[in-house]
Structure 1
Amino acid sequence: MATFELDPRLAADTLPLADLPLCRALLMNDARYPWVVLVPRVASVSEVFELSQEDQTKLWQEATQLGAAMKEAFHGDKLNIATLGNVVSQLHIHLVVRYTDDASWPAPVWGNGTPTPYELAQQGERREQLLAQIAGLTLSS
């Protein structure tokens, strides 16, 4: 049986946050947006339909609860939720809080502008903000 391993490209572009009941939550290393990537800890999965019905439900619950908490906490105008997988085929969901005055609005964040890596202090602050949101979720395992 294969074990879960995080795609090296996701590992290179993100910072670890926490493990939810199904997903590993990662902070995208781009300080321009509050941006979390959820990766189901299931080996060899690239599409949502490849998950069991139970895991599909957990995935949607984790994404929608965390996304709603992020949008409220960061006072966003919009929350983008996306599973692209064109470059990294490992199933992952992006949760990006958007503002009508952000650098990419109204276009997608992908391929727009240059990512701004977090400085160490910023990284710690954003990580703590997101961990507080994660702690407030009512997720079942």
Structure 2
Amino acid sequence: MREQRTRRGRGRDNERGIAALEFVLVLPLLVAMLYAGVTFGQAIYARYQLASAANESARACALESTDMATCEQHVRQKIASVAHWCGGGGGDGDAGGSTGSGVQVSVSRRALAGLRHVDAIHIEIHCAFVGSVGRKLLKKHGVTLINLNTSATMPL
């Protein structure tokens, strides 16, 4: 009977530390899933903010009948809060343009096709999304996680 007890005890000694080993093996997967979830959430938020900025700016420019430069400046002010996730801008002093900031804004007048000819203001925003976690490293190596594009058109 004593031999049976000692055999049972030896089996437990062989399995010591297995839980710690399993945790170490699973931890990178959990961290990667957490990173993906946070980044995906930021991308959805940034896309919403860009679309909102395009819509609000198109409406404001159509109502005020401003020139294209003033309208573009209005868009850049609206997207300043999310420009830092787009490969630059925001905190770097440059909120847009195509000068390596990751955000491109274009404002133009277009004619809407339909039953009658209507002039409209058209705003397009393109963002090379890099997120906030590891942003400096991703920007340094020119990595873009997602390209976010949005546009808005408003009749004049």
Please, what TM-score do these two structures have when normalized by structure 2? 0.28
Query: Could you say which structure has the larger radius of gyration?
Result: 2
Which one has a larger percent helix, Structure 1 or Structure 2?
A: 2
Please, what TM-score do these two structures have when normalized by structure 1? 0.31
Structure with larger RCO (C-alpha < 8 A, sep 6+): 1
